[in-house]
Chain A
Amino acid sequence: MPPEGWFRKRSKFSAAPAAARTAANAVPEGVVQKCLGCGQILFTKDFEKNLKVCAQCGFHHKLTADERIAYTVDEGSFVGFADNLRSVDPLRFPDYQSKVDKLEATTGLNDPMKIGTARIKNVPCVVAASDFRFIGGSMGSVAGEKIVRAMEAGIENNLPVIIFTASGGARMHEGLLSLMQMAKTSAAAALLAAHKIPYFVVMTDPTMAGVLAAYASLGDVIIAEPAAMIGFAGARVAAQASSQKPPEGYQTAEWQLGRGQIDSIVHRREMPDTLASLLTMMGCEAIESPAPQPPVMEGQEGETPSEVTVG
C-alpha cells in the first residue's frame, strides 16, 4: 500500500489539481460545451446557432424532439397532436413504470415520439420526431400508435409524412406488444403508399433494430444525417454473429449509403431545403403562410380543441 499522496503529483486526474483547474477556468455553467466528435470546446450560443453541429468537425449532435422540430419546420407552424398518449405497463415489467415516470418528469415528454402538422419551407406536411432521451427512443405501444396516427393524418389531410428517427429499436419492456408495432407501422406505410402520399424518413443517430426493420426502411426517400449509426443489430452483436471483422465505418450512414440502403446524407442545415425541394417535385405545393390547422383525424370528428395539444 503506497503512502497517501504518493501519486498525487503525477496524476492529472487526482482531486486537487482538478479542483484548482476548475477554479481557474471557472465559467458560468452552460456557456461552453465540448464537441462529442472532436473534443473542441464550443460556445453554447454558437453551437446552438449552428444547429448543434460542431463548427470544427461537423459532428451532428443528437437533438431532442423539440429541437428537431424547431430546427426543421417553419417557425410557429408546428401543431402537435396525440401528445396525451401515455405508456402503460402491460407486462408489469421490472422497473418499467418507475423508469417511465422518471423520464416523464425529467424530459416533459410522455414518449419519444412527437407528431404534428407543420410546414417546411412553406410546404405543409405531417412531421414526427423521435427523442432519444426517452428509453433510447424505443418503440412501444405509444410510439407505434403515434407513427400510425401520423400516417393516417397524412392520408386524411393529403399531406406528405416526414419521420425523423432516433431509436435503439423496439421497447422490450412491452414485450410482444412492442414487437407488433413493427408490423403495425409497416402496414400503415403500405396504406400511405396505396394513397400515393409521399413518405420520407430522415435517419438520425441512431436508427437501429426494430425501428430500422420496420417503418424506417420503407420511406419513398430515406435521408440520413452525417455519421448517424444505422444498423440491424448493435456492432457487438454483429461482430459475434460474423465470421468477418466488422469493416471500418460499419453501420454509419456513409457505410449504408455505399451499401445502397439509403438515398443520401444531408447536413442538418440543408435538411429543410432538401425536403421541400423533393416534396414540391412530387407535387406537394408550397403555400404562403397559412394559419396552422389542427389535423382531421379519422373517427374523431367533433374532437374538442382541448384534446389536441398544441406544441
Chain B
Amino acid sequence: MASKTVLDFEKSIADLDDNLEKLRQIVADRTHPENTENLPGEIANLEDHRTAILRELFARLTPWDKVLLARHERRPYTLDYIHAMTTDFQELHGDRSFADDGAIVAGLARIDDIPVAIVGHQKGRDIKQRQFRNFGYARPEGYRKAIRVMKMAAKFGMPIVTIIDTPAASADVAADERGISEAIARSMYEMSALPVPIVSAVVGEGGSGGALGIAVANRVLMLEHSIYSVIPPEGCAAILWRDPERKAEAASALNLTAQHALNLGVIEEIVPEPLGGAHRDWSLTADRLREALVRNLRELMASSGEDLAKQRYQRFRKIGQYHEDAIEKRNGHKPHDGG
C-alpha cells in the first residue's frame, strides 16, 4: 500500500494514524528507552480515541461517501482477494478469439479446498497497472474470456465465484466495434443457465451492465461499503440536471448502497467490513468474504444442477416492481438476513 490516499472525511483519522505510527516506531526503535515507559498506555489511549472517531464517522456515511469508499485507491482488488482467500490459483487467459483483457481475470483455484472457477474485474494500483487493467473497464474479450472459463467450469461440475469491481464496461469505439453489448448480453444469457452454483460478490464498484455481465448468480453478496448502480452518479447528474457536480445528490437518488440493494431484493447478503472500511484491514475483509462465499457455495452445492439453473432464472425473473391492475406487485424475492 504505497499510496496514501486519504478521503476528505478520513482526514481527522489520518493524523491519528500518523501519530500512532510514529509512537510505535519510537517504542520499536528503543532510541529513547528512558522516555518510553508511558508510551504503550498512550498508544492504547490513542487507539481507543481513533476507534471512537471511526465509529462516529462510519455511523453517518452518506451514499456519496460510500461511492468514494467503494472507489478507494487502497481498497483490496480482485487479485488481492484471490490471493488471500484461495490456494492453487491458476490464472487462465484469453478469449480464444481476439485478446486477453487485463480488466477481467479468470482462473481455477481452491477456496476452503473446494475447486472453483473464479472470475473478476481487476483494477490496477499504479499508473502502469492501471493502464494494463484499463482502469477496470472491461472489454468484449474480457466478458468472452469470463464466460469461456465459466462454461468450462460447468462442464466439470465446478462451482463459480465472481468478484465484481468495475466502474463500467469499456465504452470506447474499439469496444463497440468488437461487440461489447453482445459480449455482456451473451455472458448473462449463458450464465443464467449454467448447471453449477454461482455466487457473486460486489467488493467495490458494481458499475451497471459491466458489473452485471458477470453477476448473474444464484446468490449475490456485497461488501458493506461497496456500491451497485445502473449508472454512475456523475452520469446520472449530467443527464438529470446537466451538472455532473451534483453527483452526491444523484448518489442518494440512485439508491446504490449495499443496504439499498438488500432492501430492493437485488442481493442476498451484506458482508460487514472492518471498522473504517476494507482498505484499513485487507486480511480481515478477505476472511469475512471467504467465510460468506464458502458458506453460500456449500449450501448451493447440495442442489442439483438443474435446480440451480432454475433457481437462478427465478431469482432474476422475480425482480421488478410494478402495478398490475389495482394491485401493486412488490418484489417477491425475499432477502436473507445480512451478516
A: which residues have CB within 8 A of B? 84-88, 90-91, 93-94, 141-142, 144-145, 148, 170-172, 174-184, 186-191, 193-194, 209-210, 212-218, 231-233, 237-238, 241-244, 246-247, 250-251, 259-261, 307
Q: List CB contacts (< 8 Å) of B126-162 with chain A.
A: 137
What 1/0 flags go to B206-248 for Cβ under 8 Å of A? Answer: 0011001101100000000000111100011001100000000
Q: Which 6 A-B pairs have the closest CB atoms?
A: A187-B192, A141-B320, A233-B171, A186-B188, A242-B172, A213-B181
Are A172 and B264 also in contact (CB < 8 A) when A183-B216, A213-B209, A241-B170 are?
A: no
Are A210 and B255 also in contact (CB < 8 A) when A177-B319, A242-B174 are?
A: no
Structural contact, A175 and B229, CB atoms closer than 8 A: yes
Indicate if B193 sits at the interface (CB-CB under 8 A): yes
Interchain residue pairs with CB less than 8 A apart (16): A85-B322, A88-B328, A91-B253, A170-B230, A176-B230, A179-B229, A187-B192, A187-B216, A190-B190, A212-B185, A213-B209, A213-B213, A241-B172, A242-B172, A242-B174, A260-B179
Across the interface, A217 reaches (CB within 8 A) one of B181, B193, B313, B331, namely: B181
Residues of B with C-beta under 8 A to A170: 208-209, 230-231
Structural contact, A232 and B180, CB atoms closer than 8 A: yes
Residues of B with C-beta under 8 A to A91: 253-255
Structural contact, B319 and A180, CB atoms closer than 8 A: yes
Structural contact, A217 and B182, CB atoms closer than 8 A: yes
Indicate if B186 sits at the interface (CB-CB under 8 A): yes
Residues of A with C-beta under 8 A to B337: none
Across the interface, A176 reaches (CB within 8 A) one of B174, B185, B264, namely: B264
In the assembled complex, the Cα of A216 lies from the Cα of B182 at a distance in Å of 9
Residues of B with C-beta under 8 A to A177: 264, 266, 319-321, 331
Structural contact, B179 and A259, CB atoms closer than 8 A: yes
Indicate if B9 sits at the interface (CB-CB under 8 A): no
Indicate if B177 sits at the interface (CB-CB under 8 A): yes
Are A148 and B317 also in contact (CB < 8 A) when A172-B239, A176-B228, A250-B173 are?
A: yes
Structural contact, B181 and A181, CB atoms closer than 8 A: no
For chain A, what secondary structure do more than half of its interface residues adopt (helix, strand, loop), or is it mixed?
helix
Residues of B with C-beta under 8 A to A186: 185, 188-189, 192, 216
Residues of A with C-beta under 8 A to B175: 232
Structural contact, B171 and A241, CB atoms closer than 8 A: yes
Structural contact, A176 and B255, CB atoms closer than 8 A: yes
Indicate if B323 sits at the interface (CB-CB under 8 A): yes
Residues of B with C-beta under 8 A to A90: 264, 321
Given contacts A182-B185, A217-B182, A242-B172, 15 further A-B contacts (CB under 8 A): A85-B322, A85-B324, A86-B323, A172-B231, A178-B230, A179-B208, A179-B209, A183-B316, A184-B320, A218-B185, A218-B186, A232-B181, A233-B176, A237-B235, A250-B173
Q: Chain B: interface residue count, which band?
A: 35 or more
Indicate if B119 sits at the interface (CB-CB under 8 A): no
Structural contact, B188 and A251, CB atoms closer than 8 A: no
Q: Nearest CB to that of B239 among chain A residues?
A: A172
Residues of A with C-beta under 8 A to B289: none
Across the interface, B189 reaches (CB within 8 A) one of A175, A178, A187, namely: A187
Residues of B with C-beta under 8 A to A171: 230
In the assembled complex, the Cα of A44 lies from the Cα of B190 at a distance in Å of 46
Indicate if B18 sits at the interface (CB-CB under 8 A): no
Structural contact, B186 and A217, CB atoms closer than 8 A: yes
What 1/0 flags go to B312-334 for Cβ under 8 Å of A? Answer: 11001101111111001001000
Indicate if B261 sits at the interface (CB-CB under 8 A): yes
Structural contact, A141 and B322, CB atoms closer than 8 A: yes
Structural contact, A180 and B174, CB atoms closer than 8 A: no
Indicate if B72 sits at the interface (CB-CB under 8 A): no
Most B C-beta atoms less than 10 A away, residue of A175, A241, A260? A175
Residues of A with C-beta under 8 A to B170: 241
Structural contact, A84 and B324, CB atoms closer than 8 A: yes
- Give the Cβ gap from A260 to chain B, nearest Cβ, in Å: 7
In the assembled complex, the Cα of A215 lies from the Cα of B176 at a distance in Å of 17
In the assembled complex, the Cα of A189 lies from the Cα of B331 at a distance in Å of 21
Residues of B with C-beta under 8 A to A86: 322-324
Residues of B with C-beta under 8 A to A188: 317
Structural contact, B174 and A182, CB atoms closer than 8 A: no
Indicate if B260 sits at the interface (CB-CB under 8 A): yes
Across the interface, B212 reaches (CB within 8 A) one of A180, A218, A251, namely: A180
Indicate if B256 sits at the interface (CB-CB under 8 A): yes
Residues of A with C-beta under 8 A to B188: 182-183, 186-187, 214
- Give the Cβ gap from A113 to chain B, nearest Cβ, in Å: 12
Residues of A with C-beta under 8 A to B230: 170-172, 174-176, 178-179, 210
Indicate if B278 sits at the interface (CB-CB under 8 A): no
Q: Nearest CB to that of A214 among chain B residues?
A: B185
In the assembled complex, the Cα of A207 lies from the Cα of B225 at a distance in Å of 34
In the assembled complex, the Cα of A175 lies from the Cα of B209 at a distance in Å of 12
- Give the Cβ gap from B200 to chain A, nearest Cβ, in Å: 11
Indicate if B184 sits at the interface (CB-CB under 8 A): yes
